[in-house]
Every structure is written in structure tokens, then in C-alpha cells.
């Protein structure tokens, strides 16, 4: 039984990120242990260990999903590793849009890490990187005004959703409501800030969810400015 079409697609997806540095046998073990899960929007991810293949997965925190905080975003190729953590039932992984993930039993990942040292190294590097990104996000939340956070977010999304292209046109991978919660503001405020950005000509919208960056320079300089800077 040869590799299925899906497996081939996964291999090519993982080929250009850190995963590709791993020995072939290691990747095979991971693929063999995992199952591909299709998620509709707002579906909760079963399990707490996975690799994102398509779409965006959000880490929600709060009793009620409808008004929970969005604390982190996982894009394709990202590793989700939330086992071994105190689970008081308030953390959930939810698909922001229809998504596809490679779900892994925590035990399978641990076994593979034990067997393949490079995999263990890669996992540690990724988790460290995620912690770093979270610190950066905290810095934005505590030190930047809403419009600056928005500009920063748009640049980030444009880079990760279109890593090969010119990064000027891209799809917003989630609802306004979820964007607003991730950015720590109200949906109405987000809407007004987007409107303001449109007015300056820095961005434009082809459709409500398809954005074009017209003036990356302006956006970057907005993203860089701190709250109390002139």
C-alpha cells in the first residue's frame, strides 16, 4: 500500500519548514501515528496534540466559547502541543475557518520524540518559538494602541498566509469578531480602525475578507510606533 494522495500533500506541505530537516523515517512514524481530521468552522479540536495542515486554529480560554479570549493562533505547519498542562477545562482549540489538522495521540508524539532525537529537538525549538511569539503578543497588548496592534497583525497575517507570494494580497483567516478578541478590542472598534486604515489608503478590501496591502511602508511604521510615542 503506497502513500495516499493526502499523505503526499502533507509531505510537500511540511517540506519547506523545519520539519524537512528531520530524517525520513521520523516523518513516516509521525504520519503513521496521526489521523487527518477535517474541521468545520467553530469545531472544537479533539485531542491536544496536532499539526495544522490547512486553515487556522485558535486557542480559546474561557468557560463560554462565545465570549472566551483568543490567546494564540496556529497556522499551517504549526505544532499544537498542549498536553501535560493543567487542564481546568477552560482551554479549547477551535477552527477559525474550515481547517484540516493531523491529530496525534500525545503518547505517539512522545514515543516518536524518544526514538528520534532530531524530532525532540524540533519540538522544543517550536515550543520555544511559540513562547517567544506569545511574549511579543503580550508586548503589543500592553504597549500599543489598537490601531498599531491592527497594523502589526495585518503584516503578520500577510506574511504567514502567503509565504511564497508578494504578500500584498491575502485572505483574512477568521471572522472580525475573533480578530477583535485576539487583538484585545471590541468588534466595533476593530471595524472603525479598519475603516480608518482604508481611508488612509494603506490597505484596501477586494471582498470583506480579501485584503490588499497598498502601502506596506505606512503599515510597518504604524506597527512600530508605541503607544506613547509621538
Which residue, among 205, 154, 200, has the nearest Cα to 179 in the 3D structure? 154
Beta carbon of residue 213, minimum distance to DNA (angstroms, whole number): 16
Alpha-carbon span 89 to 115, nearest angstrom: 31
Q: Residue ranges of the alpha helices (H) in 162-229?
A: 176-182, 187-200, 216-224
Q: Which residues contact 167 (CB under 8 A, 6 or more apart)?
A: 158, 159, 213
DSSP-based three-state secondary structure for 68? coil
Q: Which of 145, 155, 218, 220 binds DNA (CB under 7 A)?
A: 145
175 binds, among DNA, a second copy, none (CB under 5 to 8 A by kind): DNA
Extract the runs of DSSP E, i.e. beta strands, from 64-208. 69-74, 79-81, 91-95, 99-103, 169-171, 203-207
Q: Which residues bind a second copy (CB under 8 A)?
A: 59, 61-62, 67-72, 81-82, 84-86, 91, 114, 117, 120, 123-125, 127-132, 134-139, 141-143, 181-184, 226, 228
Rule CB under 7 A: say whether 185 interacts with DNA: yes
189 binds, among a second copy, DNA, none (CB under 5 to 8 A by kind): DNA
Beta carbon of residue 224, minimum distance to DNA (angstroms, whole number): 16
Q: Which is nearer to DNA, 47 or 146 (CB)?
A: 146
115 binds, among a second copy, DNA, none (CB under 5 to 8 A by kind): none
Beta carbon of residue 167, minimum distance to DNA (angstroms, whole number): 21
Q: Which residues contact 16 (CB under 8 A, 6 or more apart)?
A: none
Radius of gyration, alpha carbons of the chain: 19
C-alpha cell of residue 124:
522544543
Q: Which of 175, 216, 218, 220 binds DNA (CB under 7 A)?
A: 175
Rule CB under 7 A: say whether 84 interacts with DNA: no
Stretch binding DNA (CB under 7 A), from 7-15, 112-120, 133-141, 173-181: 173-181
Which residue, among 180, 120, 133, 185, has the nearest Cα to 160 in the 3D structure? 133
Interacting residues with DNA (CB under 7 A): 41, 145-147, 175-177, 184-195, 208-209, 227-228
Amino acid at each position: 500500500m503506497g502513500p495516499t494522495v493526502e499523505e503526499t500533500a502533507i509531505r510537500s506541505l511540511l517540506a519547506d519548514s523545519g520539519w524537512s530537516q528531520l530524517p525520513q523515517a521520523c516523518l513516516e512514524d509521525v504520519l503513521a501515528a496521526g489521523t487527518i481530521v477535517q474541521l468545520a468552522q467553530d469545531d472544537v479540536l479533539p485531542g491536544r496534540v496536532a499539526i495544522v495542515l490547512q486553515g487556522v486554529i485558535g486557542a480559546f480560554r474561557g468557560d463560554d466559547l462565545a465570549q472566551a479570549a483568543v490567546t494564540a493562533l496556529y497556522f499551517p505547519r504549526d505544532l499544537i502541543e498542549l498536553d501535560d498542562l493543567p487542564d481546568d477545562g477552560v482551554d479549547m482549540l477551535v477552527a477559525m475557518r474550515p481547517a484540516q489538522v493531523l491529530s496525534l495521540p500525545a503518547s505517539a508524539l512522545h514515543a516518536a520524540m524518544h526514538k528520534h532525537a532530531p524530532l525532540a529537538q524540533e519540538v522544543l525549538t517550536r515550543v520555544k518559538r511559540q513562547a517567544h511569539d506569545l511574549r511579543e503578543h503580550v508586548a503589543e497588548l500592553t504597549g500599543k494602541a489598537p490601531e498599531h496592534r491592527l497594523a502589526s497583525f495585518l503584516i503578520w497575517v500577510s506574511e504567514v498566509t502567503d509565504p511564497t507570494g508578494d504578500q500584498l494580497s491575502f485572505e483574512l483567516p477568521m471572522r472580525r469578531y475573533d480578530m477583535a478578541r485576539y487583538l484585545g478590542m471590541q468588534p466595533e472598534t476593530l471595524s472603525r480602525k479598519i475603516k480608518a486604515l482604508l481611508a488612509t489608503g494603506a490597505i484596501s478590501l477586494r471582498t470583506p475578507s480579501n485584503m490588499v496591502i497598498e502601502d506596506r511602508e505606512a503599515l510597518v511604521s504604524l506597527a512600530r510606533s508605541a503607544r506613547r510615542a509621538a
